[in-house]
Amino acid sequence: MMLLYLMAFLDRVNIGFAALTMNQDLGFTPSIYGWGAGIFFIGYFFFEIPSNLILEKVGARLWIARIMITWGLISAGMAFVSGTWSFLALRFLLGVAEAGFLPGMLLYLTYWFPARHRAKFIALFMAAVPLASAIGSPISGLLVSMDEWLGLKGWQWLFLLEGLPSCLLGVVVLHALPEGPARAKWLTASERAFVEADLANDRRNAAPNAHHAIWPAMTDWRVLVLCGVYFGVVIGLYGIGLWLPQIAKAMGYSNAAVGFIVAMPYAVAAAAMLAWGRHSDRRGERVLHVATAAAISSLGFFGGGRRHCADQLRGQFGRLCRTLFDGLDQRKHGKFLLGNGGHGGLPLCGGRVGVAIEGRGVAQPGTLDASLLTCIQV
């Protein structure tokens, strides 16, 4: 599941690396690029809830496989964009195809793990967000440099080689992902019975706080607060993810160097996210863990724009990066990494949102669970 979400997030944000050469090749202005980056979420918004309701009806295995295969094909199809309208159309369709994937996967985790264990497993699953950038950024930086190989531009190879693997993983899901513990062939009968009894007990304990209709649950103040929290999280997450490669490129680095530079803060974020999820489970506390991660992120953004903060960090980060890249300007890079080091807290906050829903008894198994998780993510 972590690998699936890694590919999903990579296919969302690889446009940031493609833009390093695609914008010039196709004559895209920053405004056109911004519309293309954002229109993805319009398609995602309108089809998110219907997609998750269908997932609950037809089953996780079939619907997640459908999502992956269609988004992989559309992402690979981005290689053949020829102008503004084809660019906008494919980005919109990519959002439609991927709609429902994340809340659907979070819903699927509730089929396996009781609430007391979900924080660490959701953190492990959502660590795919920083890992997608930590692993995918260097690869994307190298791919976008493959200009004119077999007659294709580097950005075209980027979309093809990062989109088609999602199709293959969709086929794997279709044949390997069980609908739940009851159909997991690798579990013994006694293990299946234990897991299902544990989950049933978890549902009974949550029942007094449960909503039993979708719309009253969606107007619950806790759901609305979490919507606001998640809204703040994703502004920073995608604002950085979609524009960061171009920011680094403007500092004078090569495409390959940009990939490695962008990867560094995300590698740290992945490790921190896993540790934070385990800490949340040990303490049995959710709200402060969400708030702390978000506060650290906001301080990172604020500090990233302060010259004196950059000066303090430039020595350590400058020496590290100078070892990797010739001609590093220490002031610029210290400032650059400070803002994105704080950004590492954003995926922690995103992971905690899903956990907080489960831990507070708002979402319950079934269609209501899918709808609430989807509402908050939308």
Task: State pLDDT tens for residues 109-126.
Answer: 778 877 777 767 777 777
| Whole-number Å distance between alpha carbons of 27 and 331 | 32
Q: Write out the two tokens for 229.
A: 């929290």
What does each C-alpha distance from 324 to 59, 250, 312, 319, 342 come to in angstroms?
47, 18, 20, 9, 22
Predicted confidence band of residue 22 (pLDDT cuts 50, 70, 90): very high
| Whole-number Å distance between alpha carbons of 30 and 249 | 14
When pLDDT is averaged across residues 141-169 and rounded to a whole number, the result is 87
pLDDT value at position 209?
Answer: 54
pLDDT value at position 110?
Answer: 79
pTM above 0.85, yes or no: no
Q: Write out the two tokens for 238.
A: 């995608």
pLDDT over 90 percentage in the chain: 15
Q: Which of 59-63, 224-228, 304-308, 309-313 has the lowest mean pLDDT?
A: 309-313
Say if residue 57 is exposed, middle or buried (CB neighbours under 10 Å; 0-12, 13-18, 19+). Answer: exposed
Q: Which of 11-15, 49-53, 183-187 has the lowest mean pLDDT?
A: 183-187
Q: Around 299, how many Cα atoms within 13 Å sit in the side-chain half-sphere?
A: 8
pLDDT value at position 66?
Answer: 92
pLDDT value at position 329?
Answer: 39
pLDDT value at position 366?
Answer: 44
pLDDT value at position 276?
Answer: 81
Say if residue 290 is exposed, middle or buried (CB neighbours under 10 Å; 0-12, 13-18, 19+). Answer: buried
| Whole-number Å distance between alpha carbons of 119 and 4 | 19
Most confident range, picked from 19-23, 55-59, 365-369: 19-23
When pLDDT is averaged across residues 235-241 and rounded to a whole number, the result is 79
Share the mean pLDDT of the chain: 74
When pLDDT is averaged across residues 67-87 and rounded to a whole number, the result is 93
pLDDT value at position 87?
Answer: 94
pLDDT of 32 over the 90 cut: yes
Q: Which of 177, 252, 185, 207 is nearest to 4 (CA)?
A: 177
pLDDT value at position 286?
Answer: 76
pLDDT of 337 over the 50 cut: no
Q: Which of 69-73, 320-324, 351-355 has the lowest mean pLDDT?
A: 351-355
Express each pLDDT in 343-370 by its tens digit. 333 333 433 344 433 443 334 444 444 4
| Whole-number Å distance between alpha carbons of 7 and 9 | 6
Say if residue 46 is exposed, middle or buried (CB neighbours under 10 Å; 0-12, 13-18, 19+). Answer: middle
Q: Which of 50-54, 173-177, 217-221, 239-243 has the lowest mean pLDDT?
A: 217-221
pLDDT value at position 96?
Answer: 93
When pLDDT is averaged across residues 53-65 and rounded to a whole number, the result is 84
Secondary structure, 3-state, the chain: CHHHHHHHHHHHHCHHHHHHHHHHHHCCCHHHHHHHHHHHHHHHHHHHHHHHHHHHHHCHHHHHHHHHHHHHHHHHHHHHCCCHHHHHHHHHHHHHHHCCHHHHHHHHHHCCCCHHHHHHHHHHHHCHHHHHHHHHHHHHHHHCCCCCECCECHHHHHHHHHHHHHHHHHHHHHHHCCCCHHHCCCCCHHHHHHHHHHHHHHHHHHHHHCCCCHHHHHCCHHHHHHHHHHHHHHHHHHHHHHHHHHHHHHCCCCHHHHHHHHHHHHHHHHHHHHHHHHHHHHHCCCHHHHHHHHHHHHHHHHHHCCHHHHHHHHHHHHHHHHHHCCCCCHHHHHHHHHHHHHHCHHHHHHHHHHHHHHHCCCCCCCHHHHHHHHHHHC
Q: 291 in the Ramachandran plot: left (φ > 0), alpha (ψ -120 to 50) or beta?
A: alpha
pLDDT of 245 over the 80 cut: yes
Q: Write out the two tokens for 310.
A: 């950059």
Predicted confidence band of residue 60 (pLDDT cuts 50, 70, 90): confident
End-to-end alpha carbon distance in the chain: 21
Predicted confidence band of residue 270 (pLDDT cuts 50, 70, 90): confident
| Whole-number Å distance between alpha carbons of 222 and 231 | 14
pLDDT value at position 70?
Answer: 93
Q: Which of 95, 2, 66 is nearest to 351 (CA)?
A: 2
pLDDT value at position 277?
Answer: 75
Beta-bridge partners for 149: 152
